[in-house]
Amino acid sequence: MTVAAPSGPLEGILVADFSRVVAGPYATMLLGDLGADVVKVERPGTGDDTRGFGPPFVDGESSYFRSVNRNKRAVSWDLATADGCRLAQALAERADVVIENFRPGTAERLGIGYEQVARLNERVVYCSVSGFGSSGAGAELPGYDFLVQAVGGLMSVTGDPGGEPRKVGVAVVDVLTAQFALSGILAALYERERSGRGQKVEVNLLLSLLSALINQASTYVTTGSVPRPMGNRHPSIAPYETLHAADRPFVVAVANDRQFSVLARLVGLDWMAADERFSTNAARVVNREELIRLLEEALRARAAAHWIDVLQAGGIPCGPVNDIAEAFALAERCGLSPVVRISADGASGVPADLPSGSNQVRNPVGLSRTPVTYRIPPPRHGEHSEAVEAELRG
């Protein structure tokens, strides 16, 4: 397959991707979207673990693998052999960015640890991704998203009060860690323009989650109070939750007193905005049970679709609880073109129909002069080994 030439703000940046599963590969896919030339190194045979995550499979490839591996060239090298290590070292020594999520000590044993690479490539930006840090008591612990959602506190604030703790329905900690890795890599590349030197970037799943817990984490570290699950309710804002209409629940996200005054008027409860129990957000949080009882008593008179139309017309943030198909349809109606198609020859465009094995979810970043590009569909295992090896020999 002919690979389209990279373009975009990171054109000319070579990325050696030794990572696997989600956090590292998602970060390198985003670098690829921005124009970097990403070389994904996989072990022979099984390749990246996510190649086996399924069903569903699309044209023999895991849809999970396809979600985080576009815009990459794939090589299959056995790093347990001298020849495989030699190729890996040669790639790392040429790379602008190296990213890995090996177990502690593995990169060094292979000759591609940070100190080893930096001695020969002082401009390298070297990113290590771990579950619980690369040193100390957490270094040997395996880092998996579900595990970190549990031990990192996210599951303790997700789900209904008194119910079983629940994970988020996607590998959100991996995604967050990938975003932190991306920001660290980009910052290091920017600093390199001043100093001429690279540096090591370290991210881990646990700290990424704790940082992303924002207000819940702040509640604990500033007051000592431990947050608990509240279902769809917000601990500090009301009404900011699902409310039940005559037929089904819908979401209302009232974030200030002006919005609440409008909401009260539109549902026929004008008096509530002047009632001291509900006139301020702090009062509404304290009196949440009575607040929701009164609102739902009024809302049960009509269907959710009616209230959504009325409230949206009044500027109140609200909407249905969509499934994923409905969410993509909403993005289409908003003119966001959320799906792109990458053909085998690297051509991309907006698909005419869904579903298709060539479809990819659009990168959400818009750049006016150097937009993201979609050049390479998720690669077959070892698809570009011959070409990359020839480049390293040249």
Among the three residues 319, 353, 384, which one is the final residue of a domain in this structure? 319
Looking at the fold, whether 165 and 76 belong to one and the same domain comes out as yes
Q: Which residue has the higher pLDDT, 211 or 5?
A: 211
Looking at the fold, whether 86 and 195 belong to one and the same domain comes out as yes
Q: Within a domain: residue 228?
A: no
Looking at the fold, whether 198 and 278 belong to one and the same domain comes out as no
373: tokens are 């590009």
Q: Is the dihedral of CA 138, 139, 144, 145 positive or negative?
A: positive
Give the C-alpha separation, 382 to 379, whole Å. 8
Helices (H), the chain: 23-33, 63-66, 82-94, 106-109, 114-120, 145-151, 172-195, 205-212, 214-223, 257-266, 281-286, 288-299, 304-313, 324-333, 385-393
Q: Within a domain: residue 2?
A: no
Question: Do 148 and 173 contact (CB within 8 A), yes or no?
Answer: yes
Question: Do 348 and 373 contact (CB within 8 A), yes or no?
Answer: yes
Q: Is 174 a catalytic residue?
A: yes
Give Cβ neighbours of residue 182 (< 8 Å, ≥ 6 apart): 27, 30, 31
- DSSP per-residue letters across 254-273: --SHHHHHHHHHHTT-GGGG
Question: Do 84 and 382 contact (CB within 8 A), yes or no?
Answer: no
CB atoms inside a 10 Å sphere around CB 243: 21
- Can you give the residue range of the structural domain that contains 303? 240-319
Categorize the per-residue pLDDT at 137 as very low, low, confident or very high, splitting at 50, 70 and 90.
confident
Q: Within a domain: residue 39?
A: yes
Residues 81-88 have a mean pLDDT of 97
Looking at the fold, whether 178 and 256 belong to one and the same domain comes out as no
**pLDDT confidence of residue 358:** 87
Q: Within a domain: residue 86?
A: yes
- Number of domains composing the chain: 2
Three-state SS at 359: strand
**pLDDT confidence of residue 72:** 97
HSE at residue 300, side-chain half, CA atoms within 13 A, is 7
Residues 45-66 have a mean pLDDT of 94
Q: Within a domain: residue 231?
A: no
Categorize the per-residue pLDDT at 344 as very low, low, confident or very high, splitting at 50, 70 and 90.
confident
Looking at the fold, whether 259 and 311 belong to one and the same domain comes out as yes
Looking at the fold, whether 117 and 197 belong to one and the same domain comes out as yes
CATH label of the domain that carries residue 133: 3.40.50.10540
Q: Within a domain: residue 362?
A: no
Looking at the fold, whether 203 and 277 belong to one and the same domain comes out as no
Categorize the per-residue pLDDT at 132 as very low, low, confident or very high, splitting at 50, 70 and 90.
very high
| 348-390 confidence digits (pLDDT tens) | 777 767 777 789 999 999 999 999 999 999 999 999 999 999 9
Looking at the fold, whether 204 and 143 belong to one and the same domain comes out as yes
Q: Which helix (H) or strand (E) holds 74?
A: strand 72-76
Q: Within a domain: residue 299?
A: yes
CATH label of the domain that carries residue 246: 3.30.1540.10
Question: Do 385 and 75 contact (CB within 8 A), yes or no?
Answer: yes
Burial of 226 (0-12, 13-18, 19+ CB in 10 A): exposed
Q: Which residue has the higher pLDDT, 346 or 155?
A: 155
Q: Is the pLDDT of residue 54 over 90?
A: yes
* CA distance to 10, 239, 244, 279, per residue, from 286 (Å): 50, 11, 20, 12
Among the three residues 319, 354, 379, which one is the final residue of a domain in this structure? 319
Question: Do 241 and 317 contact (CB within 8 A), yes or no?
Answer: no
| 160-207 confidence digits (pLDDT tens) | 999 999 999 999 999 999 999 999 999 999 999 999 999 999 999 999
**pLDDT confidence of residue 356:** 79
Give the C-alpha separation, 118 to 131, whole Å. 24
Looking at the fold, whether 151 and 189 belong to one and the same domain comes out as yes
| Selected catalytic residue, list 17, 33, 48, 174 | 174
Looking at the fold, whether 112 and 186 belong to one and the same domain comes out as yes
Looking at the fold, whether 75 and 123 belong to one and the same domain comes out as yes
Looking at the fold, whether 260 and 124 belong to one and the same domain comes out as no
Q: Within a domain: residue 67?
A: yes
